[in-house]
Chains A and B, each alone.
Chain A
Amino acid sequence: MTAHGPHRSTDSAPHLTRRGLLRAAFAGAGFAALAGCSTPVGAGLANTRLDPGTVDYWNLFGGGDGVRMQQMEDGYRKAHPDTKLQAVTLSWGDPYYTKLSLATVGGKPPNVAVSHLTRMKTLVQAGLLQELHPDDLARHGMTPDKFNQRAWQASLVDGKIYAIPIDTHPFVLFYNTDVCEKAGLLDSNGQLVPIVGEEAFADALTKVKQVTGAYGATHGINADSASCWRLFQTFYSQLEGEVLAENGTEIVLDDAKAKRVLDYLRSLTVEKGLIPVSDYQGAIALFADGKAGFHLNGEWEITTFQTAKMPFSMTLVPNVFGGPHAVQADSHTLVLPVLPGQDRAQLDLSLGFVKSMLDQSDVWAAGGHVPAWQPYASSDAYRQLNPQHSYAAAADTAVYDPPGWYSGSGSVFETIMGSAVGGVESGQFSPDVAIAQIRSKLSVLAKTAPPV
């Protein structure tokens, strides 16, 4: 080894020379320039818009939703061969809304974008969305009476229209028809007999557990604050409880009601072992494997279970606390971000695209979402769509996340609420600790002056 040391440098070892470095730098710059040639980047550098005849559309749909959305985009392309549709799919949640906001602030928004109804209000307060005028909408056949009223009313901001709801996506109860039949929970038509009350739901889960030999129900608990929040909100709303008021500046959490719900959830998971502590994918896998007879989740997972070719159906989440039926839900809406210098032709192009999405509500509804577009929602075709039609009533008892600049689908608010609920369900802390944690975390946000 020693002998190699002294001889080496003189003969072969390549030195890093200035010329080499420059050459490498130029090569690097060349690559960067090449990468910059594609149209959107070029348009960005030249500060021009894409071709005016283009509909630029952003959405956040992956999985089965993503496949169906592409199908609908293709439907639009086929019907409008002269219009160029440029669709971009971005990852769900905060990253999506961050990009949408930044693009709009920067004056380069898409023409049409998807937004959850509960996130849309903050975008409106931030001044990022165009107000849609009833006569413009009427020109494309979109009048308020043609939408699900709950979703339509919820999407108005101070009585003004900023968003067109395309669906309601409620939390639902999936059930394994084989398992539930053996547990004696089905009626003569093979449908789940409605379950009402705390005892009844726990009993049903116990019976199912005896059949499966493992668990009664599953839902995402570990690292899944969204599912925990959705279940909590569903039950808590059945007690007519609310969390935020005055646009998020006031916390109106009813400790007694929240404790009742948390105690109940804890009894199902920790005490009776009816619901396992698993993560989102694990909860799905256990249900698909028949290790649990019930699965609580958003209806969008229908595609997953259809693909698994298992015997299942879906229904409303049981009214466990006996108040007015209520279920956590949100809606996908289509919005038009503020676009400087938009002319009427471009507006019509965008609204035409929105209408085309509504016209293809059948494709969308097959993916589990309850259609907001009444011409389809009240049609026979939808009535015969099973099991999707069996929980359509959830759209009318939907409870949306409370308004507030830090609230909405996938927001900080949902993370705070869901983390606390998840902690109780997995037995890490007591309901009292969870409530204290919720109060302390939310009060920081409630006190903060809204940035919008």
Chain B
Amino acid sequence: MASTTEAVDRIRPAPVPGPARPGRPESHGRSAALFLAPFVVLYVLFIIGPALYGLVMSFFDTSMVKPGLRSFAGFDNYAEALGSSDFWHSLWHTIWFTILTTPPLVVLALVFAILAERVPRGRWFFRLAFFLPYVLPSAVVALIWLFLYTPALGLAGKIVTSVGLTEPNWLGDQNWAMVSLAITTVWWTLGFNFVLYLAGLQEIPRELYEASAIDGAGPWQQIRRVTIPLLGRTTALVVVLQIIASLKVFDQMYIMTDGGPNFSTRSVLQYIYDVGFTSYRTGYAAAASTLFFLVVLAISAVWLMLTRRQSLGWAAKAGGEG
């Protein structure tokens, strides 16, 4: 949930590219530091500190149930992780999940936000309806969908068979389990992106729509030429937050399939959890975490670099047309 407030804070100034802000007076620095202190202290204590400790631990044969770091392992843990097919498989499962969930979560959120914004009446209902699932805890979502996916009895199967298709074994088939989990996740977390897009939509100056209507633009042209370009910054933010959220996947699989069948939905975080907490090998788990951290860092960096350039381009283009 930390990301929610962060995202909202970041989105407000974003869509209107203004002139560079004048430098702040020096005296603001101290009070800013004072205001930041409670957060910074906790952040260092609970995020930075443990992360650094984890990095150190990854070079040792640390065990969860034995005191201290135990013997120095050098790069052995890293070599083992890089040579482990289980690690690579689970990493691929996480990436496959990200590929399956990110496009629908971005596109559908945008579509629903635009639709909900255009509903003349009862707008609050649609906003609530799309956002509500996001408020549910993962365990509740998992139980609801386990129910829906029950073979032969569940609603999901009934819907599929009613249109004349054969029902897949949603969570029991190696080829279907990940898709089923992706569907669940889209339903669950769509609301967050939806809200970001709603906020973005409200920041678009209304004059642009009036002007474009006078120029003879239809609704579809308005969406294509005004709405989507001006949401460029929001889209960049939504995509990067979504990729990170999808890469962090753990709960749904852990509860709904426990990584099965035959490990086909074990995410890399569950692999780290398994080796670290179940098999007590925290040193090795720390090395696997560090490798995963590097992957996330690389993906985020590449995406941010790509979109920063692109969104500046969008903004300039939209500004020119407006």
Chain B residues with CB under 8 Å of A21's CB are 5, 8
Chain A residues with CB under 8 Å of B218's CB are 2
Chain A residues with CB under 8 Å of B65's CB are 101, 105, 126-128, 451-452
Chain A residues with CB under 8 Å of B262's CB are 223, 419
Asked if B280 contacts A126 (CB within 8 A), the reply is yes
Chain B residues with CB under 8 Å of A102's CB are 64, 277
Q: How far is it, in angstroms, between the C-alpha of A124 and the C-alpha of B93 when the chains are bound?
A: 35
Chain A residues with CB under 8 Å of B279's CB are 405-406, 412, 451
Chain A residues with CB under 8 Å of B202's CB are 9, 13, 15
- Given contacts A2-B219, A128-B65, A279-B172, whether A452 and B278 have CB atoms under 8 Å apart is no
Q: A16 within 8 Å of B by Cβ?
A: yes
Q: How far is the CB of A140 from chain B (nearest CB, A)?
A: 28
Asked if B5 contacts A4 (CB within 8 A), the reply is no
Contact digits for A4-28, partner B, Cβ 8 Å, 1 yes 0 no: 1111111011011000010001001
Q: Which residue of B lies closest to A2 (CB)?
A: B213
Q: Which residue of B lies closest to A449 (CB)?
A: B61
Q: How far is it, in angstroms, between the C-alpha of A47 and the C-alpha of B5 when the chains are bound?
A: 31
Q: B28 within 8 Å of A by Cβ?
A: no
Contact digits for A435-449, partner B, Cβ 8 Å, 1 yes 0 no: 000000000100011
Q: How far is it, in angstroms, between the C-alpha of A15 and the C-alpha of B209 when the chains are bound?
A: 19
Q: Among the listed B84, B118, B280, which residue makes an inter-chain contact with A1, where contact means beta carbons less than 8 Å apart?
A: B118
Q: A384 within 8 Å of B by Cβ?
A: no
Q: How far is the CB of A438 from chain B (nearest CB, A)?
A: 15
Q: B133 within 8 Å of A by Cβ?
A: no
Q: B120 within 8 Å of A by Cβ?
A: yes
Q: How far is it, in angstroms, between the C-alpha of A405 and the C-alpha of B282 when the chains are bound?
A: 15
Asked if B8 contacts A16 (CB within 8 A), the reply is yes
Q: How far is it, in angstroms, between the C-alpha of A4 and the C-alpha of B279 when the chains are bound?
A: 60
Q: Among the listed B5, B66, B278, which residue makes an inter-chain contact with A97, where contact means beta carbons less than 8 Å apart?
A: B278
Q: B168 within 8 Å of A by Cβ?
A: no
Asked if B278 contacts A4 (CB within 8 A), the reply is no
Chain A residues with CB under 8 Å of B117's CB are 8
Q: How far is the CB of A116 from chain B (nearest CB, A)?
A: 14
Q: B54 within 8 Å of A by Cβ?
A: no
Q: B206 within 8 Å of A by Cβ?
A: yes
Chain A residues with CB under 8 Å of B281's CB are 448, 451
Q: How many chain B residues touch A (Cβ–Cβ < 8 Å)?
A: 35
Q: B189 within 8 Å of A by Cβ?
A: no
Q: How far is it, in angstroms, between the C-alpha of A1 and the C-alpha of B218 when the chains are bound?
A: 9
Q: B210 within 8 Å of A by Cβ?
A: yes
Asked if A5 contacts B8 (CB within 8 A), the reply is no
Chain B residues with CB under 8 Å of A127's CB are 65-66
Q: How far is the CB of A96 from chain B (nearest CB, A)?
A: 10
Q: How far is the CB of A335 from chain B (nearest CB, A)?
A: 15
Chain B residues with CB under 8 Å of A449's CB are 61
Number of A-B residue pairs with CB-CB distance less than 8 Å in the complex they form: 86
Q: Which residue of A lies closest to B261 (CB)?
A: A223
Q: A189 within 8 Å of B by Cβ?
A: no
- Given contacts A21-B5, A94-B274, A412-B279, whether A2 and B64 have CB atoms under 8 Å apart is no
Chain A, interface residues (CB within 8 Å), range: 35 or more
Q: Among the listed B84, B222, B261, B277, which residue makes an inter-chain contact with A98, where contact means beta carbons less than 8 Å apart?
A: B277
Q: How far is it, in angstroms, between the C-alpha of A444 and the C-alpha of B81 when the chains are bound?
A: 12
Asked if B199 contacts A16 (CB within 8 A), the reply is yes
Q: How far is it, in angstroms, between the C-alpha of A127 and the C-alpha of B64 when the chains are bound?
A: 11
Q: How far is it, in angstroms, between the C-alpha of A16 and the C-alpha of B261 when the chains are bound?
A: 44
Contact digits for A123-135, partner B, Cβ 8 Å, 1 yes 0 no: 0001110000000
Q: How far is the CB of B69 from chain A (nearest CB, A)?
A: 13
Chain A residues with CB under 8 Å of B66's CB are 126-127, 451-452
Asked if A4 contacts B172 (CB within 8 A), the reply is no
Chain B residues with CB under 8 Å of A28's CB are 1
Chain B residues with CB under 8 Å of A444's CB are 84
Q: How far is the CB of A341 from chain B (nearest CB, A)?
A: 18
Contact digits for B242-268, partner A, Cβ 8 Å, 1 yes 0 no: 000000000000000000111000000
Q: B193 within 8 Å of A by Cβ?
A: no
Q: How far is it, in angstroms, between the C-alpha of A222 and the C-alpha of B8 when the chains are bound?
A: 47
Q: Among the listed B1, B61, B64, which residue makes an inter-chain contact with A101, where contact means beta carbons less than 8 Å apart?
A: B64
Q: Which residue of B lies closest to A25 (CB)?
A: B5
Asked if B260 contacts A223 (CB within 8 A), the reply is yes
Q: How far is it, in angstroms, between the C-alpha of A234 and the C-alpha of B260 when the chains are bound?
A: 25
Chain B CB within 10 Å, residue with most, of A6, A15, A126, A419 = A6
Q: B235 within 8 Å of A by Cβ?
A: no
Chain B residues with CB under 8 Å of A4's CB are 118, 120
Q: B63 within 8 Å of A by Cβ?
A: yes
Chain A residues with CB under 8 Å of B118's CB are 1, 4-5
Chain B residues with CB under 8 Å of A7's CB are 206
Asked if A6 contacts B219 (CB within 8 A), the reply is no
Q: B207 within 8 Å of A by Cβ?
A: yes
Chain A residues with CB under 8 Å of B120's CB are 4
Asked if A2 contacts B278 (CB within 8 A), the reply is no
Q: How far is it, in angstroms, between the C-alpha of A419 and the C-alpha of B263 when the chains are bound?
A: 10
Q: How far is it, in angstroms, between the C-alpha of A6 and the C-alpha of B64 when the chains are bound?
A: 60
Q: Among the listed A9, A12, A279, which residue makes an inter-chain contact with B206, where contact means beta carbons less than 8 Å apart?
A: A9
Q: How far is it, in angstroms, between the C-alpha of A21 and the C-alpha of B66 when the chains are bound?
A: 45
Given A449-B61, A451-B280, A452-B65, 10 more A-B residue pairs with CB atoms under 8 Å apart are: A5-B118, A6-B207, A6-B209, A6-B210, A13-B123, A98-B278, A222-B261, A451-B65, A451-B66, A452-B66
16 cross-chain CB contacts under 8 A:
A1-B118, A1-B219, A2-B213, A2-B218, A5-B209, A6-B209, A8-B206, A12-B123, A16-B8, A101-B65, A101-B280, A105-B64, A419-B262, A451-B61, A451-B282, A452-B66
Q: Which residues of B contact A (CB under 8 A)?
A: 1, 5, 8, 61, 63-66, 84, 117-118, 120, 123, 172, 199, 202, 206-207, 209-210, 213, 217-219, 222, 260-262, 274, 277-282
A-B complex: 4 closest residue pairs judged by Cβ atoms: A126-B65, A5-B209, A451-B63, A451-B280
